[in-house]
Amino acid sequence: MDSKKEIRKYIFGRRKETSVEEVEENSRVICEKILALPEFQQADCVYAYADYNKEVITKGIIEAAWKAGKRVAVPKVTGAHEMKYYYITSFDQLSPGYFQIPEPSEGEEALEETAFLVVPGVAFDINRHRAGYGQGFYDRYLSQHPKHKTVAVAFEFQIVEEVPAEVTDIFPQKVVTEARVIE
Ligand SMILES: Nc1nc2c(c(=O)[nH]1)N(C=O)[C@@H](CNc1ccc(C(=O)N[C@@H](CCC(=O)O)C(=O)O)cc1)CN2
Ligand SMILES: Nc1ncnc2c1ncn2[C@@H]1O[C@H](COP(=O)(O)OP(=O)(O)OP(=O)(O)O)[C@@H](O)[C@H]1O
């Protein structure tokens, strides 16, 4: 079994080879699948993320949520290993922050207990084990906020045979790719 570090290296290589067109097209398909989920449709609030660096593009999810009258929040890194969610009502409220990721400037902190939370990631397996960038931001946040409905989004090339799970890992309830929903 490869270590999380080796898996990240492999996926970053695959990311480099993937064209912007493929990222956009597959993100559109993933977005449609997310919008079709009852958890999404029933949510009053969507905790998304602002994509960077060929992650699944979340723009369509965020715009659909606004259109449906849902509140939208995205994370901001606020300390070593700590992130918080802040509401946004426009993409203009984002500016480059941690690792140049678009982040909200501090406004109103989002503190719902049960939002629909879109989880980013570097690699997943069919048991929904997840590897992120390796700093434990989501594991920490989700361990403190266990009631969210968590759905990860990833391209099919990010699904690997096995992601080694650590005791602190929190698995998303579903993983949506352009080809399937893993649950
Ligand atoms: N779009 C997005 N926002 C997010 C996350 C995420 O995964 N995606 N996060 C999820 O935790 C948090 C930020 N966590 C991060 C942790 C490490 C790195 C990082 O080390 N980036 C480097 C190296 C990547 C690499 O290993 O090659 C870089 O971009 O250069 C980035 C984000 C909160 N916001
Ligand atoms: N709830 C927690 N409390 C304390 N430490 C934690 C917790 N969750 C994870 N960690 C630690 O954080 C480090 C990084 O964890 P891991 O490799 O699982 O991150 P990741 O899921 O890839 O990253 P991210 O969540 O930021 O996308 C590990 O050393 C792990 O032990």
HSE-up of 45 (CA within 13 Å, CB side)?
Answer: 15
What is the whole-number distance in angstroms between the Cα of residue 167 and the centre of ligand 2? 10
Q: Which atom of ligand 2 is nearest to the CA of 4?
A: 17
Average pLDDT, the chain: 97
Residue type, 122: V
Q: Mean per-residue pLDDT for 106-126? A: 96
Residues 87, 61, 178, 98, CA torsion sign: negative
Task: Report whether residue 10 contacts ligand 1, using a CB cutoff of 6 Å.
Answer: no
Please report, for the chain, how many H helices and E strands are present, in that order: 5, 11
Specify the pTM: 0.97
Where are the strands (E) in 12-81, listed by range? 45-47, 71-79
User: Quick one: which atom of ligand 2 is closest to the CA of 131?
Assistant: 22
Tokens of 1: 């079994």
Cα(79) to centroid(ligand 1), Å: 14
Query: pLDDT (tens digit, 9 = 90+) per residue, 37-89?
Result: 999 999 999 999 999 999 999 999 999 999 999 999 999 999 999 999 999 99
Atom of ligand 1 at shortest distance to CA of 50?
1
Dist CA 83 CA 48 (whole Å): 13
Give CATH for domain 4-177: 3.40.50.10420
Q: How remote is the C-alpha of 10 from its chain's centroid?
A: 19
Predicted confidence band of residue 106 (pLDDT cuts 50, 70, 90): confident
84 lines ligand 2 (CB under 6 A): no
Determine if ligand 2 sits within 6 Å of the CB of residue 140. yes
| Residue 82, C-beta contacts closer than 8 angstroms, at least 6 positions apart | 137, 140, 141
Q: Is the CB of 75 under 6 A from ligand 1?
A: yes
How many Å lie between the centroid of ligand 1 and the Cα of residue 100? 9
Distance 146 CA to ligand 1 centre (A): 22
Burial of 161 per CB tally in 10 Å (0-12, 13-18, 19+): exposed
Q: What are the tens digits of pLDDT across the range 118-154? A: 999 999 999 999 999 999 999 999 999 999 999 999 9
Q: How far is CA 60 from CA 63, 68, 176, in A?
A: 5, 12, 15
Domain ranges of the chain: 4-177
Q: How many whole angstroms separate alpha carbon 65 and alpha carbon 145?
A: 21
Label residue 3 by pLDDT band (50, 70, 90). very high
